[in-house]
Structure 1
């Protein structure tokens, strides 16, 4: 029982970490495109 709960929490932690990483990557890509547009 306890093992299942810890496994579930670990999955949530992994998913949230993945989501945060994805958001950071998307933001950096958008910023780069914005800078390129400003330079052009």
Structure 2
């Protein structure tokens, strides 16, 4: 219920936060792969 209400009130900031979270996760995975490559 709260999620739906928040989506109606502020759709853009929520999308921006989600995009930031996804970008951070992707960055972490890429960084981890690079670190593994350096170690090998």
What's the TM-score once normalised by structure 2's chain length?
0.75
Q: Which runs of 5+ in 1 are unaligned?
A: 1-5
What's the TM-score once normalised by structure 1's chain length?
0.75
Segments ≥4 residues shifted beyond 4 Å:
none
Q: Which runs of 5+ in 2 are unaligned?
A: 1-7
Over alpha carbons, which structure has the higher Rg?
A: 1
More RCO (CA 8 Å, sep 6+): 2
Alignment length, in residue pairs? 33
CA RMSD of aligned residues (A): 1.3
